Amino acid sequence: MSKIQGRILVVDDDKDVLTTARMVLKQKFTDVVVENNPKNIPGYLNNEDFDVIILDMNFKPGLTSGEEGIFWLKKIISFDSNISVVMNTAYGDIQIAVEAMKQGASEFIVKPWGSEKLLATVEAVFNLSKSKKRVNKLQHTQEILSQEINKDYTEIISESKSMQAVFTAINKVSGTDANVLILGENGTGKELVARAIHRKSDRQNMSFINVDLGAISQTLFESELFGHTKGAFTDAKEDKPGRFEIASDGTLFLDEIGNLSLNLQSKLLSVIQNRYINRVGSNKNIDINIRLICATNKDLYKMVEDGEFRQDLLYRINTVEINLPPLRNRKEDISLLSSKFLKKFSNKYNKSTLKISDKANRALVDYKWPGNIRELQHIVERAVIMTEDKIITENDFSLKKNYTDNIPDSLNVEGLEKKAIQGAIQKYNGNFTKAADELGWGRSTLYRKMKKYGI
């Protein structure tokens, strides 16, 4: 009979009890740790993760009040409210049992116990412990996923030859667990590619967790990605799993990975290499099993040369590299995508008879699209909202010449990004909130990039 993958800690001052408990529990559980000194409990909790703790009620000779057991029970629960504790005493005092249950104990067992009784009790509490941990993870997973519920994620649409290599790569890599790096300008659909890989993978029925690294401050990085324990810092009012834990068995998508400082790159590399995390405030290793997909609009290879990105991290994240072409190099797709967006927003705003004029279509194809597909979507939506006719004209799209003609033909990502920022700011007459939204960033990201480019 295969053993249950579980860790049990037995704390009792009677060495014979410890020997017997270990012998009995090892029949069913893979790891059983015994300890005769309750003062060592904090050390165990700081360094190891236990599914069940069996705790004696009395440690000093002659004591029968159960006060010591209640004291250590409170300590354990305050450290981790999800730990399941079985109280173990030689005195079947119902009042002690009631008090222990009030303080958070999961079960109560009276010595001397038979082997079958001990195994049945611990197995039942173990199953309860696993259920509590699953519920806790599901609650926090739901919080993360609820933030995504109103976002619109669709299939990738393209007839362009330049996209065929992308589709081929998606099909080849999706059946593996290889780390993937997606490179491309803002608005080219990097997240859609990541989701397509996830949907075609063996992990498709598990979570896809998206983390915008450009929107997470350095101070919150570890807490958001690795989680934290209750009391780890001022606002840590409960244990909270991080994105790595929540994404375990599924896919973790790290967007804007080029924005990470060298210090945070080092911490990320350590997790990717070791395949476990430590929550902030804890030394316990928590194993993770994720499919990692990263994306950036930056030239990571140049950043490596400039000492701004760790070469060893780059090697870790780009087992397979997918380069997304900008929309200006996918001219065959512009009319296809604009028709898709027209249908979507016409239905949304109850204007189902709208059409785009031939001249307006040509203008869209000739436009250089510094904001790529995201910009096309926003421009079509705006035209649908603002037009009062049944035909959308070139003027309805507000394609400003001074916004497009100065965009260089160079594919240098930073040059294009600078021009896109300048264009977005000009387009919205200095309204940074709207400009940031146009570019798909938060205001803080926009300010940081404006400072970088001297805008």
The pLDDT, as a whole number, for residue 217 is: 85
Q: Which residue has the higher pLDDT, 47 or 337?
A: 337
Residue 70 has pLDDT above 70, yes or no: yes
The pLDDT, as a whole number, for residue 128 is: 83
The pLDDT, as a whole number, for residue 400 is: 59
Number of Cβ within a 10 Å radius of residue 42: 13
The pLDDT, as a whole number, for residue 358 is: 94
Each residue of 237-294: pLDDT tens digit? 888 889 999 999 999 999 999 999 999 999 999 999 999 999 998 888 899 999 999 9
Q: Which residue has the higher pLDDT, 410 or 259?
A: 259
The pLDDT, as a whole number, for residue 407 is: 47
Each residue of 86-123: pLDDT tens digit? 998 776 667 787 888 888 899 988 888 899 999 999 99
Listed by start position, the domains of the chain span: 4-137, 161-323, 328-453
Each residue of 285-320: pLDDT tens digit? 899 999 999 999 999 999 999 999 999 999 999 999
Average pLDDT of the chain?
87
CATH number of the domain at 161-323, out of 3.30.1360.70, 3.40.50.300, 3.40.47.10, 3.40.50.1260?
Answer: 3.40.50.300
Amino acid (1-letter code) at residue 340: K
Q: Which two tokens stand for residue 50?
A: 């236990």
The pLDDT, as a whole number, for residue 100 is: 87
In this chain, the answer to whether the domains covering 4-137 and 161-323 adopt an identical fold is: yes
The pLDDT, as a whole number, for residue 350 is: 92
Q: Which CATH superfamily is domain 4-137 in?
A: Response regulator (3.40.50.2300)
Helices 15-25 and 115-146, axial angle in degrees (round to 10) = 70
Which segment of 104-113, 211-220, 348-357, 436-445 scores lowest on mean pLDDT? 436-445
The pLDDT, as a whole number, for residue 405 is: 46
Q: Which fold has domain 328-453?
A: Helicase, Ruva Protein; domain 3 (1.10.8)
What's the CA gap between 444 and 432, in Å, rounded? 10
- DSSP H or E run through 141: helix 115-146
Q: How far is CA 413 from the centre of its chain?
A: 26
Residue 255 near residue 210, CB atoms below 8 Å: yes
Cα separations (Å) of 268 from 151, 162, 271, 307, 317?
A: 27, 32, 5, 17, 10
The pLDDT, as a whole number, for residue 321 is: 96
- 1 pLDDT band, cuts 50/70/90, is low
Residue 403 has pLDDT above 60, yes or no: no
Residue 411 has pLDDT above 60, yes or no: no
- Quick one: three-class SS letters along 379-413? HHHHHHHHCCCCEECHHHHCCCHHHHCCCCCCCCH
What's the CA gap between 336 and 376, in Å, rounded? 11
What's the CA gap between 14 and 168, in Å, rounded? 65
Residue 73 near residue 105, CB atoms below 8 Å: yes
Q: Which residue has the higher pLDDT, 442 or 395?
A: 395
Highest mean pLDDT among 64-73, 205-214, 320-329: 320-329
Kindly state the average pLDDT of the residues 320-344.
95
Share of the chain above pLDDT 90, in %: 58
The pLDDT, as a whole number, for residue 99 is: 85
The pLDDT, as a whole number, for residue 236 is: 81
Each residue of 429-447: pLDDT tens digit? 778 888 888 888 877 788 8
Residue 140 has pLDDT above 80, yes or no: no
The pLDDT, as a whole number, for residue 3 is: 87
